[in-house]
Structure 1
Amino acid sequence: MLITSEGITQLQTKEQVWEDANYIVGWKGFVFILGVAAGVESVMAFVEELRMSNMIAAVKMLKGHFFLTVYDKQADIYYAFIDNSGAFEAFHMESVVSTSFLTLARQSGYGKERVSKESIIEFLNFGSIYHNRTLVDGIFKIDCNEIIVLCNHKKTILSKELETLEDACPNVDVMEFFRLFSQSVKQMKVSADLTGGVDSRLVCVLLDHHGVPFEAAITGMEGIQDVEVPKHVAKALKHELHISVPCVDRLEQNVPELFEWCDGMNDLFKHYRTLPHHKNREERGVDLVISGIGGEFFKENMWVQDFPFYLRKKANIRRFLRMRMLQIKCKSAYFEGEYKTLNDSFEDRVVQKLGCYLLDTNTKTYDSIYYHFRMKTVASTFISAASHLFGCYSPFLEYDLVRYGFHLKRRERFFNQYHRKMITKLNAPVAKIRTAEGGISVSYEKMEMLKDMIKYIRNRTRRATKVLGRKLFHKTYLQESPEHPELFRTIRGMQVTQKSIALLKQEGILDNQLKMSEILDTHLGNMVTIALFMRFLEGEDVRGEQVDLQVSNLAVATV
């Protein structure tokens, strides 16, 4: 969807429009009001509230992960915004808004000179661009607290006036939230992610308790715990489980589709498993995918580097960055000239940026960084990509629930206490099934918890060892991988990879003497994606051929 003062000029698949005498509403993704059917009925209720009050009050009613634009016919004004949790990606520049970064980048007419050196270093290290920025200077992500207003070829930005994380705890009843949510999706065919962890299990138990007739699904290699554990959980819940096994046979041929699927916003190879997995879901007629993303705010995973000191006044932001966000920093030996200097100072710059998220205790600071800086970037990329095919929603990423989890007492999040209480209350047998997290259960029964405590300590030790091994030896130890075992060997042997590395050398980014064998697996996809994006800005597709100045998957329409 591309919006200017002249109207909605491009519509992609799965983007919808509703109109009455006063308003035109267009949206993409999953939008609902609690207790009201998702989609058109919720949009109509939103418009009714808009008539009765104002835009800010109406926007606060909406739940889900979506982009939505409203054209006020009487005032001749367009309003555009994303969901209040920031889980959907949409973009703006000058007086244009789009649901696609690639569309807006092509619309801008900018060349590769608009990709800053700092952005390149950030992308190569993280595989993403943070702080509502993009690879192109002048194109920005819409923030969850912003309403973009287009009128008379001018853009202004209004605030939604959302509460902050640290404001008073919202009056939320999680059980009631899921009861009303289940009413909103009762006419939809739902597919729920089910891994070997505790977050997806909690979501599935809540959906099951409230009578949502969902299927469960997972993607990964057979035999690993993240695939084997869900088989037991799905059987106990009496829901069908669909498993998508990764394949790399046609990986190079799929690169153009993967690049378009990720919208040039992160490592395209991160999607080689999820794209066919979601296509399988589409073939089964799925309308909505539900995941456990956001469950982190109901447990202690983001704090374990400070275990057991969870009420310190001072946060160690650098350690948090190294352990929770920056997998492996790029080697200085990769780079040439100014890029080498920027990479050497990269970590210091990020630590300085993260200073704005400091709160009064260490764990609150880590929550704030993880939500505002990381989650709204990483999660939104995968959620927005899946929305090409169907709605995608993570209930525990809903802003009210994030704030509720943020305010839980530290002991309620320790040792998966919140998950244990809720799952045991709703389905005690499912709570006793071992997880992929060190073989612990999620039971709240005392004997089970005592048995789990030893495994929990062992699991935390393994995690620390894994992080240490990653930092010292640039490899991941003691962890089963869902990836195809031939993934990186295949990537290294592809022509597109060879051409991408050659292009980055030609652009003076990578050292001319750098060998493919010296590049770590975790950075390969970032390099390929950056190179393909630079080609894209120059009017080439990923095969190096000239293309028309319109992104291929768009069907043009005017509203």
Structure 2
Amino acid sequence: MLITQEGITHYQKTEQMWEDGDYLISWRGFVFVLGIAAGMDSVMTFAEEVRASGLITAIKLLKGHFFMTVCDKQAGVFYSFIDNSGAFEAFHTDSAISTSFLALARYSGFGKERVSKEAIVEFINFGNIYDNRTLLDGICKIDSNEIIVFCSHKKSIVSKQLASIDTPCPDVDVMDFFRRFCQSIRHLKISADLTGGVDSRLVCVLLDHYGVPFEAAISGRAGIRDVDIPVEIARVLDHRLYVTEPCVERLEQMVPELFVWCDGMNDLFKHYRTLPHHQSRRDRGIELVISGIGGEFLKENMWVQDFPFYARKKANIRRFLRMRMLQIKCKSSYFAGEFRAINDTFENGVVDKLGRYRMDTNTKTYDSIYYHFRMKTVASTFIASTNHLFGCYSPFLEYDLVRCGFHLKRRVRFFNRYHRELITRLNPQVARIPTAEGGISASAETLEMLKDIGKYIRNRCRRVTKVVGRKLLSKTYLQESPEHPELFRKMRTLGVTEEAVERLKREGVLDPRLEVNDILDAHLGNIVTFAVFLGYLEGREAGDVRGEDRTENNQAVVTV
């Protein structure tokens, strides 16, 4: 979808529209009002609330992951916004809004002169651009608390007036939320992610408890716990499980499609496994994918670097950054000239940015950083890509549930206690099945929890060992991976990889002496993706990164 000061100019087939004499409402993604059928019925309910109470009040009714534009026909005003959890990606410039970063970049005619050196170093380190920024100065992501307004050919930004994350959310009950949510999705054909962890297990148990028909699905290598454990869970729940195994045979040929799929916003190779996985879901007629992303806000995973001191006043933001976000930093030897100097001070700059999320305790600070800075970026890139084919929703990322988790007592989130008690209450047999977290169960039964204590300690020690290994050896050890075992070896042999490295050497980004084999696995896809993006800015097809000749016209026809 592309919105300019003249109105909505392009639609995709995955976008929907409703209108009456007063309003035209267009949306992309999955949207619902609790207890009302998702999609058209919920949008009509929302429109009535706009009429009765105004837009800002009505927006708080909406749930899901979506982008929406409301045109007030009488006033000639367009209001555009994303969901309140910030889990959908949409972008804006001074004169246009789009659900596609790549389309908006091409529509705006922006070239590589708009890419800052700092953004390049950030992308190669993280594989993402944080803080509602993009690779291009002048294009920003729409924030979850913003409404972009076009009126009389002028743009303004107003606040949704959402409550802050630390404001108590007393009326939210997870069981009641899921009960009403399940009423909203009964008419859809659903596929639920199911891994070896506890978050997706809790989602599947809740869906099963409320009688929602669904299939379960997982992408990964057979023989690892994250695939074998879901087989047992699906058997006990009596839901069919589909497993998509990763393949790297056509990796080079997939690059153009992967680049468009990720919208140039993160490492394109991270999607080589999920793209065919979602395509197989589409072929089975799936309309909505439900995942457990966001379940972290109901447990202690974000705090383990401070274990067991979960009530400290002072947060160690640098340690949090190194353990949870920047686990393997780029070597300065990758870079040339000024880029090397920027990389040397990069970590300090990120720590300074994260300082604005400080709260009165360490664990609240980590929650705030993880939600506002990390999850809104990392989760949204994967959710937005999935929406190319069908709706995608992570209930635990819903802003009300995030705030609910934020205010849980520390002891309730410790040792997966919240997940344990809810799963055990609903399905004790599923709760006893081991997880991929060191083989501990998801059970709240006393005997099971006693057996899990030793496994929990071993799992925490294993995590510390992995962190030390990443810091000393710049590689992750002691971890089963769902990826194809030949993935990174294959990536290093691709023509697009060699061309990307040579392209960035010519651009003065990478050191002329750098070889492909000098680049760590964690950064290889980031480098390739950025080089592909530079080629795209020059009007080339996705996957062409050579850049010897600049195309004269960046104002290519917008296709969104």
RMSD: 1.1
Contact 1:128/1:378 (<8 A) preserved: yes
Q: Aligned residue for 1:251? A: 251
Offset of residue 551 of structure 1: 6.8
Offset of residue 13 of structure 1: 2.6
Write the mapping of 1:158-169 to structure 2, written as runs, cut at 5 A: 158-169=158-169
Q: Aligned residue for 1:557? A: none
Q: Are the structure 2 counterparts of residues 214 and 484 from structure 1 closer, same or farther at C-alpha, using a change threshold of 3 Å?
A: same
Write the mapping of 1:253-292 to structure 2, written as runs, cut at 5 A: 253-292=253-292
Larger mean CA deviation between 158-167 and 14-23 belongs to 14-23
Contact 1:420/1:444 (<8 A) preserved: yes
Q: Name the % identity.
A: 69
CA distance in 1, matches of 2:377, 2:516: 29
CA distance in 1, matches of 2:96, 2:555: 17
Q: 1:236 is paired with a residue of what secondary structure?
A: helix
Contact 1:103/1:550 (<8 A) preserved: no
CA distance in 1, matches of 2:238, 2:504: 51
Offset of residue 170 of structure 1: 3.5
Contact 1:13/1:388 (<8 A) preserved: no
Offset of residue 550 of structure 1: 4.4
Write the mapping of 1:52-131 to structure 2, written as runs, cut at 5 A: 52-131=52-131
Q: Aligned residue for 2:221? A: 221
CA distance in 2, matches of 1:199, 1:2: 35
Q: Are the structure 2 counterparts of residues 244 and 550 from structure 1 closer, same or farther at C-alpha, using a change threshold of 3 Å?
A: farther
Write the mapping of 1:8-407 to structure 2, written as runs, cut at 5 A: 8-407=8-407
Consecutive unaligned residues in structure 1, runs of 5 or more = 555-559
Q: Are the structure 2 counterparts of residues 27 and 337 from structure 1 closer, same or farther at C-alpha, using a change threshold of 3 Å?
A: same
Q: Aligned residue for 2:414? A: 414
Q: Are the structure 2 counterparts of residues 295 and 106 from structure 1 closer, same or farther at C-alpha, using a change threshold of 3 Å?
A: same
Q: Aligned residue for 1:443? A: 443
Larger mean CA deviation between 540-549 and 381-390 belongs to 540-549
Consecutive unaligned residues in structure 2, runs of 5 or more = none
Q: How many residues align?
A: 554
CA distance in 2, matches of 1:67, 1:315: 35
Give TM-score, length-normalised by structure 2. Answer: 0.98
Q: 2:252 is paired with a residue of what secondary structure?
A: coil
Q: Deviations over 1:233-263 (max 9, x none)?
A: 0000000000000001111001000000000
CA distance in 2, matches of 1:135, 1:13: 27
Q: Aligned residue for 2:465? A: 465
Q: 2:278 is paired with a residue of what secondary structure?
A: helix
Contact 2:103/2:558 (<8 A) preserved: no
CA distance in 1, matches of 2:213, 2:7: 39
CA distance in 1, matches of 2:557, 2:528: 19
One-letter code aligned to 1:125: N
Q: Aligned residue for 1:424? A: 424
CA distance in 2, matches of 1:462, 1:80: 46
CA distance in 1, matches of 2:531, 2:153: 33
One-letter code aligned to 2:143: D
Contact 2:110/2:554 (<8 A) preserved: no
Q: Aligned residue for 1:543? A: 544
CA distance in 2, matches of 1:153, 1:378: 33
Larger mean CA deviation between 485-494 and 536-545 belongs to 536-545
Offset of residue 553 of structure 1: 5.5
Larger mean CA deviation between 12-21 and 52-61 belongs to 12-21
CA distance in 1, matches of 2:84, 2:110: 30
Q: 2:150 is paired with a residue of what secondary structure?
A: strand
Offset of residue 548 of structure 1: 8.1
Offset of residue 54 of structure 1: 0.6
CA distance in 2, matches of 1:300, 1:284: 36
CA distance in 1, matches of 2:103, 2:154: 20
CA distance in 2, matches of 1:501, 1:127: 16
Correspondence 1:530 to 2:538: no
Q: 1:253 is paired with a residue of what secondary structure?
A: helix
Offset of residue 136 of structure 1: 0.2
Offset of residue 95 of structure 1: 2.1
Q: Aligned residue for 2:475? A: 475
Q: Deviations over 1:273-330 (max 9, x none)?
A: 0000000000000000000000000000000000000000000000000000012100
Offset of residue 53 of structure 1: 1.1
Offset of residue 217 of structure 1: 0.2
One-letter code aligned to 1:73: K
Offset of residue 543 of structure 1: 2.7
Contact 1:103/1:551 (<8 A) preserved: no
